[in-house]
C-alpha cells in the first residue's frame, strides 16, 4: 500500500520523500493506515486472496491476507497450540484466525516499523498480555519488548526461529527463519519487505550496498527454504522481471503459473529460495545475462561487490519507474 504512494515520481507536497517522511514519522501515517485498514475490510471481507495453511510434523503455517495485498502469518506449535504471528497488521483478522485455530498468541515477530506490518502490535498486546514483541531496536517497532540482534534465536514452544538483521528497506528491518528440522520439515523464511516473489522492497532507508548485503544474507540460506513474503506482488514483479531479463524460461513458466493463480485470487506463496535465485532479478546481480540486458559492465578496477551494488541500484531504479509499483 505504501509503495502506491511513493512511485508517482511527482514533485510538490506529495513528492515521494515527503510522503515517506509523513507516513513514518507523523500521526498522519498512522491515520492513513487506519483508513486503509477500514477500506480493505469493506472491500475484502474475507481477505484479498485465498490462502492455504501448510502443516508439517508439529508445525502449522497459516498465511493471513490483510489490508489490500499484505500477508501476516501465524506459525503454530500444534502440540501446545502456542502461536507466533509475523507482522500482524490487522489485529481483527489475526484474532479471527487465532480463534479458528484455537491457538494462543505467545509472540509477535515484527519485520519492520511500517504500519502495514506493525500496526496491530498494540491491539494484540492488549488482548494477549503475556505476548512478547520481537524486532530490531533500531526500527521504532510499536510495543517492542524483546529487541533482537543479528542471528539471535527465538524459541516458542517447539518452534525455533533465527532472526537476521537485514537493513535497506528500513534501518532496522529483520527477517525470521523458522527451523524446519525441529519439525522434520522445510525451513520457512518470513521475509517482510526485504524479499518478495520475484522482487525486493524499496530502499527507503539504505544504500544499494546495504541492501545487497541483506539480499546476500538471504542467498546464503538453504535453497529448499520456503519463502513467505510480506506482500502479494508476484504478478507485477514477474512482469517487470521479464523486461530486465527477457530470455529466462524458468521465469516464463513461473509467470504462467502465477497468472493462473491470480485469476482465481489464490495466494502465490510460498516459493522456495532455490526458485527465486532462478528468476528474481534482485538475487541475480551476479548474472552476466542481467548485466547485458542492463548494458552495464564492471569498470577496469571495479571491485565485484561494488559492481553488483551498481546492478542492484539500476534494477531497483527501473522497478521504481516501472508502471504499477
The phi and psi torsions of 65 (rounded to 5 degrees) equal: -75, 125
For the CB of residue 117, give the shortest distance to Zn ion in the complex, in Å. 6
User: 193 or 314: whose CB is closer to Zn ion?
Assistant: 193
CB of 155 to Zn ion, least distance (A): 27
Half-sphere exposure of 27 (CA within 13 A, CB side): 0
Tell which positions 193-212 bind Zn ion, by CB under 5 A.
193
CA dist., res. 105 & res. 271, Å (int): 26
How far is it, in rounded angstroms, from Cα 39 to Cα 18? 24
Residue in 48, 112, 173, 291 annotated catalytic: 112
Smallest separation, CB 137 to Zn ion (Å): 18
- CA dist., res. 164 & res. 301, Å (int): 32
Distance (Å, rounded) from C-alpha 301 to C-alpha 306? 10
**Cell numbers 524459541: residue:** 155
Whichever of 183 and 229 has its CB closer to Zn ion, that residue is 229
Q: Which three cell numbers stand for residue 165?
A: 538483521
**Is residue 325 a contact residue for Zn ion (CB under 5 A)?**
no
Q: Is 276 in the site for Zn ion (CB under 5 A)?
A: no
Residue among 101, 102, 119 nearest 40 (CA) = 119
Contact segment (CB under 5 A) with Zn ion among 108-116, 232-240, 264-272, 285-293 equals 108-116
Q: Does 114 bind Zn ion (CB under 5 A)?
A: yes
First to last CA, the chain: 10
Catalytic residue among 69, 87, 90, 116: 116
Choose the binding region for Zn ion from 107-115, 205-213, 276-284, 313-321 (rule: CB under 5 A).
Answer: 107-115
Active site positions, annotated: 112, 114, 116-117, 169, 193, 231
Contact set with Zn ion (CB under 5 A):
114, 193
Amino acid at each position: 500500500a505504501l509503495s502506491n504512494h511513493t512511485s508517482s515520481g511527482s514533485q510538490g507536497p506529495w513528492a515521494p520523500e515527503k510522503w515517506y517522511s509523513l507516513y513514518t514519522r507523523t500521526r498522519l501515517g498512522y491515520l492513513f493506515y487506519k483508513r486503509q485498514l477500514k477500506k480493505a475490510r469493506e472491500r475484502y471481507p474475507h481477505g484479498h486472496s485465498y490462502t492455504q495453511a501448510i502443516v508439517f510434523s508439529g508445525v502449522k503455517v497459516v498465511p493471513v491476507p490483510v489490508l489490500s495485498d499484505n500477508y501476516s502469518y501465524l506459525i503454530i506449535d500444534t502440540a501446545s497450540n502456542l502461536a507466533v504471528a509475523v507482522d500482524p497488521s490487522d489485529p481483527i483478522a489475526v484474532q479471527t484466525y487465532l480463534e479458528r485455530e484455537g491457538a494462543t498468541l505467545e509472540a509477535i515477530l515484527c519485520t519492520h516499523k511500517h504500519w502495514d506490518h506493525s500496526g496491530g502490535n498494540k491491539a494484540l498486546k492488549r488482548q494477549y498480555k503475556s505476548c512478547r514483541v520481537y524486532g530490531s531496536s533500531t526500527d521504532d517497532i510499536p510495543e517492542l519488548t524483546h529487541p533482537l540482534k543479528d542471528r539471535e534465536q527465538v524459541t516458542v514452544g517447539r518452534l525455533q526461529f533465527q532472526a537476521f538483521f537485514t537493513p535497506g528497506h528500513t534501518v532496522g528491518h529483520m527477517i525470521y527463519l523458522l527451523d524446519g528440522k525441529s519439525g522434520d520439515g522445510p525451513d520457512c523464511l518470513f521475509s517482510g519487505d526485504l524479499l518478495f516473489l520475484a522482487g525486493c522492497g524499496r530502499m527507503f532507508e539504505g544504500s544499494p550496498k546495504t541492501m545487497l548485503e541483506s539480499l546476500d544474507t538471504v542467498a546464503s540460506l538453504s535453497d529448499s527454504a520456503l519463502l513467505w513474503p510480506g506482500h502479494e506482488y508476484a504478478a507485477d514483479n514477474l512482469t517487470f522481471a521479464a523486461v530486465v531479463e527477457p530470455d529466462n524460461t524458468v521465469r516464463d513458466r513461473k509467470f504462467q503459473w502465477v497468472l493462473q493463480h491470480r485469476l482465481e485470487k489464490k495466494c502465490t506463496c510460498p516459493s522456495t529460495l532455490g526458485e527465486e535465485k532462478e528468476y528474481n532479478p534482485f538475487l541475480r546481480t551476479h548474472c552476466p545475462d542481467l548485466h547485458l540486458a542492463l548494458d552495464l559492465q564492471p569498470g577496469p578496477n571495479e571491485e565485484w561487490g561494488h559492481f553488483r551494488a551498481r546492478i542492484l541500484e539500476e534494477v531497483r531504479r527501473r522497478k521504481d519507474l516501472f508502471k504499477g509499483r
